[in-house]
Amino acid sequence: MRPSLPLSGLVTSVAAVNLYVSSYAGTITSLQLTQDTNGSYSLSQVAVNEDSAPNPSWLTKDEYNDIIYCVDEGLTVPNGSLASYKTSPSGELTKIDRHTVISGPVSSVVYNGGKGLALAHYSGSSVSSWSILPSGGTKLLQEFTFTLSKPGTDPDRQDAPHPHEALVDPTDSFIVVPDLGADLVRVFSIDHATSKLTESTPFNAVPGSGPRHGTFLVSGDTTYFFLVTELGNTLTSYTVTYGKGTLTFNEVFTSGIFGTKPTPEGAAAAECLLSPDKKFILTSTRNVTVFQIPNFDPTNSTLIPSDTVQSWAIDSCTGHLNFKQNAPAGGFFPRQFSVNKDGTLAAVGLQYDSRVVLIERDVKDGTFGKFVAEIDIPGQITSVIFDD
Ligand SMILES: *[C@@H]1O[C@H](CO)[C@@H](O)[C@H](O)[C@H]1NC(C)=O
Ligand SMILES: *[C@@H]1O[C@H](CO)[C@@H](O)[C@H](O)[C@H]1NC(C)=O
Ligand SMILES: *[C@@H]1O[C@H](CO)[C@@H](O)[C@H](O)[C@H]1NC(C)=O
Ligand SMILES: *[C@@H]1O[C@H](CO)[C@@H](O)[C@H](O)[C@H]1NC(C)=O
């Protein structure tokens, strides 16, 4: 954050924050978000990095260091890659190192107090663990590759295990991996001395549901896990019980991704986040253009078909979720989105519209409000994160 400098009305910017956007076009684009003294926001491109080509699929900000990890899915080549970048106040990224990895990484998470990084490999049916070096570079620790004895309920999408996200539990003692192909939530315990993972008993999700993304919440003595399934289009709450090297999940609530409304044909639920104040679950659903929104180009009268984001209020006593809102996401295929630290803005990557939008959030009632900034970025947008 930069302080306001009222120089005879010349400087109108009161705040600036960087965002990073990954695109299948082979780029990580650095954006600067500024807010003018009159309150209006704008997003501008400050740098484009092509070191993670061909297909950056996910960015993770290391909250322990000023490092960004980018996994590249390598869609048309045999392997993916993992790269580390040093961030800078200007938004420019400097590559630290890059490694070839098992094919198709789509998510990463920092664990063990900033010493470990876990990757979920969708097409490579694997989870890998990495040591984070003092330089911010990484070194391979372990690879776990999974198989299915027969295809799942949806043989097209469940031909093989497809780990879709790597998450760390709130005690930083377990890595949890929703597996879309195997209908599992895989569980690994963390060895704090070495950052090595030990595979534990997975949780069996509903057959054919396709677990995709999740998030944890600690409330008093209770730990909850919230899971979005992509094929079933559900949002489910579980209480989590800790054992010796194990986690047990007990369902306490489940709903279709549109609450009490029926899920539209073709829907593909995607993101699942906890709001920074821990009071709301925020989700996105692709391929459900139930909204037509005004064009972001004010001279263009053509409406834009828009997929959706959802807001759910958490009852922290029971883990039940109250569906609050289905709001326009800003275009087609909100594959991933993220929220700034104070929870006032959501940055949404619209994969098939090659667009990033910022949506205002009301932190009190948890709802999404109006679009406050927008920028077009070439290629399919795969993730957008704040560096705030
Ligand atoms: C706010 O100021 C900027 C210039 O600093 C201008 O482009 C924009 O139109 C203004 N917005 C409003 C709502 O007045
Ligand atoms: C490349 O990907 C293949 C298939 O996932 C895997 O078996 C192999 O180990 C990978 N190579 C490296 C260097 O990770
Ligand atoms: C979107 O949904 C339609 C059915 O409404 C389906 O035919 C199509 O394959 C879906 N597209 C994607 C990319 O999932
Ligand atoms: C107006 O917007 C539509 C929808 O985004 C787009 O397809 C069209 O190319 C735009 N027209 C012009 C002249 O920019």
Is the Cβ–Cβ distance between 224 and 238 less than 8 Å? yes
Please tell me the number of the ligand nearest to residue 128's CA: 2
Asked if the structure places residue 327 within a domain, the reply is no
Signed CA dihedral, 245, 282, 72, 307: sign only: positive
User: Residue 205 and residue 247: Cα distance in Å, rounded?
Assistant: 14
Give the chain's domain count.
1
Q: What pLDDT is recorded for position 54?
A: 98
Asked if the structure places residue 28 within a domain, the reply is no
- Whether residue 7 is predicted with pLDDT greater than 90 in this model: the reply is no
Asked if the structure places residue 317 within a domain, the reply is no
CATH number for 59: 2.130.10.10
Please tell me the number of the ligand nearest to residue 268's CA: 3
- Whether residue 9 is predicted with pLDDT greater than 50 in this model: the reply is no
Q: What pLDDT is recorded for position 1?
A: 38
Which numbered atom of ligand 2 lies nearest the CA of 124? 5
Query: Which residue from 237, 260, 230 is spatially nearest to 333, judged by alpha carbons?
Result: 230
Q: What pLDDT is recorded for position 6?
A: 38
Question: What is the per-residue pLDDT across 135-186, written as a single tens digit (0 to 9) for each?
Answer: 999 999 999 999 999 999 999 999 999 999 999 999 999 999 999 999 999 9
Bridge partners, residue 388, by sequence: none
Asked if the structure places residue 124 within a domain, the reply is yes
Please tell me the number of the ligand nearest to residue 82's CA: 2
Which numbered atom of ligand 1 lies nearest the CA of 12? 5
Asked if the structure places residue 280 within a domain, the reply is no
Regarding the beta carbon of 304 and ligand 4, being less than 6 Å apart is answered yes
Asked if the structure places residue 12 within a domain, the reply is no
CA 136 / ligand 2 centre spacing (Å): 23
Query: Which residue from 277, 278, 223 is spatially nearest to 247, judged by alpha carbons?
Result: 223
CA 217 / ligand 1 centre spacing (Å): 39
CA 36 / ligand 1 centre spacing (Å): 7
User: Residue 196 and residue 368: Cα distance in Å, rounded?
Assistant: 39
Q: What pLDDT is recorded for position 14?
A: 54
One-letter identity of residue 48: V
Query: What 3-state DSSP class applies to 352?
Result: helix
Number of residues written out for the chain: 388
Which domain range does residue 110 map to?
A: 51-256
Q: What pLDDT is recorded for position 15?
A: 65
Question: What is the per-residue pLDDT across 36-52, written as a single tens digit (0 to 9) for each?
Answer: 999 999 999 999 999 99
Query: Which residue from 225, 108, 94 is spatially nearest to 169, judged by alpha carbons?
Result: 225
Question: What is the per-residue pLDDT across 276-333, written as a single tens digit (0 to 9) for each?
Answer: 999 999 999 999 999 999 999 999 999 999 999 999 999 999 999 999 999 999 999 9
Look at ligand 1, atom 9, and give the residue with the nearest C-alpha.
40
Look at ligand 3, atom 5, and give the residue with the nearest C-alpha.
266
Where helices occur in 184-337 by DSSP H, the ranges are none
Asked if the structure places residue 65 within a domain, the reply is yes
Asked if the structure places residue 320 within a domain, the reply is no
